[in-house]
Amino acid sequence: MWMRSALAYRASFLMMAFGNFAANALDFVAIMLMFSRIDALGGFSLPEVAFLYGTSGVSLGLADLLLGSIEGLGRRVRDGTLDVLLLRPAPVFAQVAADRFALRRLGRLTQALLVLGWSLPHLPVEWTVGRVLMVPLMAVCGTAIFAAVFTAGAAFQFWAQDAAEVQNSFTYGGHAMLQYPPTVFAKELVRGVTFLVPLAFVNWLPALRLLGRPDPLGLPGWVDFMGPVVAALMCTGAGLAWRLGLRAYRSTGS
Amino acid sequence: MWYAAVAAGSFRRYATYRIATVAGVFTNTVFGFIVAFTYIALWDERPHLGGYDQAQALAFVWTGQALLACTGLMGSGGLEELQERIRTGDIAVDLYRPADLQLWWLAADLGRAALQLVARGVVPMAVGALAFPLALPGDALTWGCFLLSVLLGVLVSFTLRYLVALASFWLLDGTGLALISGLACMFFSGMVLPLRVFPGALGEVAQLLPWAAVLQVPADALVGARSGGALLRGLVFQAGWAVALLALGRLVQSAATRKVVVHGG
């Protein structure tokens, strides 16, 4: 239904799809402009940065495609329209996630896949079966981690109804960070996204392993493979937060 | 006098969104940190890139974050409401009012921008100045010129967003156009990368486009990349675009109101 409503204004839909594609391409254009003046950023070459960009973008793109609409929860809590969803015989979570499903979000995913595809043959990596399999595994775990962040952010909005932007700083801000090599950032910041909000498991740690580089925190090697465990833990935590939030929900007073 | 009341009302209106403002400040600060670190890596690799030293480049980053909401850099900035009123036909009521449509929305936008400058500008800038060595001016005159330049930047940004909103008279749903125009503004204002860092002709052309008036010129005025005659030229450049685009907005507005067929009879 949301797809048909989007297509009603055709010119706008086309511009929207293009805009979404371009919005993400813009980040990469900035990176390419930087590399027009330099050969390496934080010791990483353009294909290596493109690999980080692609893996982070694919993960966020998939999570956004699945759950991105959940951002709108704060508005629904504010204006009381969440009550309608509570009355329907389907899980509220699924309804909020499917709300205003936007096909245009494919723009981000497509663009990230293109960059990732370009980077792979240019990487200085000897591809073995295990290493090839690591790439889709990264995407799956990364998607789960971003999906957990989306869900936890939405759960937070049951209390702080007007704070959708805080969620953006973790999802889009995290994505912006993961596009660049960890060597660029201060150690405290890297520690923050490793231990506090473990976004480093989306691509940094497995990518460093794949590229044969030491990680700036000097963690033991097995940590690089903890992505699936971290993703599972985060999803469980986010699920619990969502249930708590939903239970704490009181409808608007108006 | 009305328009002053509209501006004051708009200022107060945006002041009521307290949690949203705090959330916005948080986001601007987080992004400020991320971009600042990438710029440090970039300027480590190429010192004096684009004619900035590292402290100037870092001051540029935080100026961008501080002005993001104020100048409506990502598009929208309240004018999506005008766009929506055109789509739904409520615009007919506005056209009946004994006030000029363009001046009304300009006043509202100036009120919004003033609040956003204070509410979402000061804190990220202060955090940035505490965490990084920024090249910020010590004299009041430079800060004054910067604020004047910001005002002109807001004017140019308003005229661009107003034209996008008016396009809804023809497109009906203008969200796609608003998105693209917001992207153009992000890219060509220097928000993504300072325009002086752009390679060759692209950089030269970008510095002549109206978007350069929104961030590049005010930021250059603040970080000391423009002073004396260059600063004056920058202000004239901004004022020129503001006047030209205001006039164009007026022209499009009269064309739009002549052809308007309000939905729903």
> Among candidates B33, B23, B116, B9, which has minimal Cα distance to B67?
B116
Question: How far apart are the CA of B139 and the nearest CA of chain A, in angstroms?
Answer: 32
CA A111/CA A95 separation, integer angstroms: 27
Average pLDDT over residues B72-77: 72
Could you say which of A20, A22, A163 has the minimum Cβ distance to residue B23? Answer: A163
| A182 close to A190: Cβ distance less than 8 angstroms | yes
Rounded to the nearest 5°, which phi and psi values hold at A200? -60, -25
pTM of the model: 0.88
Question: How far apart are the CA of B201 and the nearest CA of chain A, in angstroms?
Answer: 13
Is A20 at the interface with chain B, CB within 8 A? yes
Write out pLDDT tens, residues A148-179. Answer: 998 988 888 888 777 777 888 888 888 889 99
ipTM here: 0.86
Q: Which residues of B touch A (CB under 8 A)?
A: 17-20, 22-24, 26-27, 30-31, 33-35, 37-38, 40-42, 45-46, 49, 171-177, 179-180, 183, 186-187, 192-193, 197-199
Q: What are the residue ranges of helices labelled H in chain A?
A: 2-8, 10-35, 46-67, 73-79, 82-87, 92-98, 106-122, 129-156, 164-178, 187-191, 204-211, 227-248
- pLDDT over 90 percentage in chain B: 54
Distances A185 to A42, A174, A177, A188, B66 between C-alpha atoms, Å: 9, 12, 9, 8, 21
Write out pLDDT tens, residues B229-240. Answer: 999 999 999 999
Tell me what pLDDT residue B182 has: 87
Tell me what pLDDT residue A102 has: 65
Q: Do A184 and B175 touch (CB under 8 A)?
A: no
